[in-house]
Chain A
């Protein structure tokens, strides 16, 4: 059943001739003058700087760019010689966000959704659903709740939903950018298996090249003027290394930047946790009995699998969540706030003491322009207009936001949003900084800027907590690692012990 149901797809060919697309309301086209041919069964990794139109091309191939009211199309884009917009069902698209692609409440129903839309007879649907789930390795009951899946499982479910439709063309738009390392490999392996089983044509967009090297046989680099480079992975990655790096692509085994070891001598404790229990929902602790100390001039990475309570611990240390048990002890630099329990501090008192950068920048934007956004903190501290200007001008320059002061924060690119969310927190000069997944889904350029900024802040004496899945970050930037595992199995180690030779004492 498995082989028969899956193998029935016929690989699709792609052709773009002078193709371009301009989103409605924008003056500059997202893609223009693109010429590209992909033969049936090829597996293509699509690279390029952000804004080069990679996603637009993929959406175009999937036929979901919309009609004339949503934008203007130029030239030709065909799948199997037919316009891509008319070839729905020939292609299947998996997007980046694991949370927003699930349509149905039950696993089997979600896979069946596409088949129902294509008008597949009911008797045939469930066989194809089972085969697709088998192919991506999701061996769970058909009535399993889709909201109980991990990120990696959700992305494999999305792949199964696409696969059941037997597309000749599988399109993946950064399918692993939002996953932990385990999820990344789950999804990559499922895609590799599916590509082998079906022989379907595959087009993948991803910044981290090494993940996909074993799967693809061709690399295409898009630039603003069309295709910049095209060829075998080795030829393109070696021959075009410099321009690719400039475009923010992660080449295999690249570490964009390494921090020096912390040089601070007189470290001072900023916040100490004693037998701390942390809970998102009161009385339902996700971790118990944690001992952890954050010092000035040190970067502590909190690591661990999804659901281990990393963010909950960080938000508790940040004075945003009430400890479910145990005690938080603020250090001397935190003095002056009302009481010694951070979760009871006034919101204003937090500004100069603890700055928190949330995983999704959208959660913390409050205003309609970049400048107003940066002024929120200083205004809450009742600074004069002159003082506010003095604070904000250097931040705008350091984080390359000068040209965007009147832009709406929600319309910025992913990297710009991240830089703005960090800048808003720095405007009030907190002594401790809590960063939730600061490098998640960022390209190598933004990664390098953030890493430098974080190390500079550390050298200025700021104590930093970074919740992260990013081993490169832990290795190249962090001073300590606090690893959360199953409840009661957390331990602090020197982050550099594996990555760098000179051993420095852990500060906590």
Chain B
């Protein structure tokens, strides 16, 4: 299943995933504090430049980021139609009121969604779940039992997708697939859950028999390092946040959402 595999030759693939997640946090905070198009627009520009510079340009325009490019305009449009009105009103129909104010809010929202979601999606595509688990357990010192349990559960996602297809075929074979889509889907979801729990039980026994959860210190076959490259990634993330916020303040569009 592609869900758990990442091409190891991608740029940034060797960076500790914890650093990649941390790098997106300052910008997200900055963009949530204000609702203006300048900060988010500058952030998107910076992101395009940075990702292209490190060689992740092709991922930016790959089908994997398509949901972001589709979802962002949709949220923007809904804000244009329903956002708090101010200034000239261009069109009104029931609750819908398109005005200068709602257009500005729509634009700010759309750019915001792109600026926050785009780096998250692109960076996540470079994160291998195994490396992420190593980072969470070794760098952030989260409990190994929890982190590795979640990681092992990923192994079941692939089999669950196959199970779902087979369950659908089996329902057709048993003569109950002509009507009641909703009720049948619920039953099928329940059956999937039962199968997943059974598989999970076997997996848990296999893990336990290999000493998982045994008392005593655990060692790590793969060392999650956190050094200069990781700090550089976080620094770039901070820099993008600072540039975006500064641009908004200089342009005079900076407006704290609660003011």
Give chain A's interface residues, CB within 8 Å of chain B.
59, 62-64, 88-89, 91-93, 95, 97, 99-106, 108-109, 112-122, 125-126, 129, 143, 145-147, 158, 161-162, 165, 280, 315, 318, 320-321, 346-348, 350-351, 354-356, 358, 360, 362-366, 376-377, 380-381, 410, 424-425, 428
Interface pair A100/B199, CB less than 8 Å apart: yes
Bound: A64/B1 CA distance, A: 29
Q: Which residue of A lies closest to B8 (CB)?
A: A143
Interface pair B129/A95, CB less than 8 Å apart: no
Bound: A425/B172 CA distance, A: 12
Using known A-B contacts A347-B177, A356-B173, A428-B175, determine if residue A147 contacts B199 with beta carbons closer than 8 Å. Answer: no
Interface pair B209/A64, CB less than 8 Å apart: yes
6 pairs of A and B residues whose beta carbons are closest in the complex: A117-B211, A114-B210, A347-B177, A112-B221, A380-B175, A93-B209
Bound: A95/B220 CA distance, A: 25
Q: Which B residues are in CB contact (< 8 Å) with A162?
A: 209-210
Looking at B39-47, B159-167, B231-239, B244-252, the stretch in contact with chain A turns out to be B159-167
Using known A-B contacts A64-B208, A97-B202, determine if residue A347 contacts B175 with beta carbons closer than 8 Å. Answer: yes
B95 located at the interface, meaning its Cβ lies under 8 Å from any Cβ of chain A in the complex:
no
Bound: A362/B166 CA distance, A: 10
B64 located at the interface, meaning its Cβ lies under 8 Å from any Cβ of chain A in the complex:
no
Q: Which A residues are in CB contact (< 8 Å) with B208?
A: 64
Interface pair B172/A63, CB less than 8 Å apart: no
From A119, A365, A410, name the one whose CB has the most chain B CB atoms within 10 angstroms.
A119
Using known A-B contacts A89-B211, A105-B129, determine if residue A424 contacts B219 with beta carbons closer than 8 Å. Answer: no
Bound: A380/B154 CA distance, A: 37
The 24 listed contacts between A and B (C-beta, < 8 Å) are A59-B205, A95-B205, A99-B159, A99-B199, A100-B202, A100-B203, A101-B203, A103-B148, A105-B130, A116-B219, A117-B210, A118-B211, A118-B216, A125-B221, A147-B155, A147-B158, A161-B210, A347-B172, A347-B178, A350-B172, A358-B166, A360-B166, A366-B171, A376-B176
Q: Which B residues are in CB contact (< 8 Å) with A365?
A: 191
Partner of B211, one of A88, A346, A377, A380: A88
Interface pair B220/A122, CB less than 8 Å apart: yes
Using known A-B contacts A100-B202, A109-B221, determine if residue A358 contacts B209 with beta carbons closer than 8 Å. Answer: no
Nearest CB in chain A: distance from B9 CB, A: 12
Interface pair B219/A147, CB less than 8 Å apart: no
Interface pair B174/A105, CB less than 8 Å apart: no
B141 located at the interface, meaning its Cβ lies under 8 Å from any Cβ of chain A in the complex:
no
Nearest CB in chain A: distance from B51 CB, A: 25
Interface pair B169/A315, CB less than 8 Å apart: yes
Using known A-B contacts A162-B210, A348-B175, determine if residue A115 contacts B202 with beta carbons closer than 8 Å. Answer: no
Partner of A122, one of B4, B128, B199, B221: B221
B5 located at the interface, meaning its Cβ lies under 8 Å from any Cβ of chain A in the complex:
yes
Interface pair B169/A320, CB less than 8 Å apart: yes
Interface pair B155/A105, CB less than 8 Å apart: yes
Give the contacts of B1-26 with A (CB-CB under 8 A). 1, 4-5, 8
Bound: A350/B210 CA distance, A: 46
From B158, B177, B221, name the one whose CB has the most chain A CB atoms within 10 angstroms.
B221
Bound: A380/B206 CA distance, A: 41
Interface pair B170/A358, CB less than 8 Å apart: yes
Using known A-B contacts A105-B4, A410-B194, determine if residue A366 contacts B152 with beta carbons closer than 8 Å. Answer: no
Interface pair B176/A366, CB less than 8 Å apart: yes
Q: Which A residues are in CB contact (< 8 Å) with B172?
A: 320, 347, 350
Nearest CB in chain B: distance from A148 CB, A: 9
From B166, B169, B174, B212, name the one whose CB has the most chain A CB atoms within 10 angstroms.
B174
Bound: A191/B5 CA distance, A: 30
Q: Which B residues are in CB contact (< 8 Å) with A64?
A: 205, 208-209
Number of interface residues of B (CB under 8 A): 55
B217 located at the interface, meaning its Cβ lies under 8 Å from any Cβ of chain A in the complex:
yes
Interface string of B190-224 (1 = CB under 8 A from A): 01001100110011011111111110111111110
From B4, B187, B206, name the one whose CB has the most chain A CB atoms within 10 angstroms.
B206
Nearest CB in chain A: distance from B258 CB, A: 44
Q: Which residue of A lies closest to B156 (CB)?
A: A100
Using known A-B contacts A105-B4, A347-B178, A376-B175, determine if residue A113 contacts B218 with beta carbons closer than 8 Å. Answer: no
Bound: A428/B170 CA distance, A: 15
Interface pair A126/B221, CB less than 8 Å apart: yes
Q: Which A residues are in CB contact (< 8 Å) with B148?
A: 103
Interface pair A347/B203, CB less than 8 Å apart: no
Q: Which B residues are in CB contact (< 8 Å) with A347?
A: 171-178
Q: Which residue of A lies closest to B165 (CB)?
A: A280
Interface pair A320/B211, CB less than 8 Å apart: no
Bound: A112/B218 CA distance, A: 12
Nearest CB in chain B: distance from A85 CB, A: 11
Q: Which A residues are in CB contact (< 8 Å) with B155?
A: 102-105, 146-147
Q: Which A residues are in CB contact (< 8 Å) with B216?
A: 118-119
Q: Which B residues are in CB contact (< 8 Å) with A120?
A: 219
Q: Which B residues are in CB contact (< 8 Å) with A147?
A: 1, 4, 155, 158
Interface pair B175/A351, CB less than 8 Å apart: yes
Q: Which B residues are in CB contact (< 8 Å) with A114?
A: 210-211
Q: Which B residues are in CB contact (< 8 Å) with A145?
A: 5
Partner of B178, one of A115, A121, A348, A358: A348
Bound: A348/B172 CA distance, A: 8
Q: Which B residues are in CB contact (< 8 Å) with A346?
A: 178
Q: Which B residues are in CB contact (< 8 Å) with A117?
A: 210-214, 218
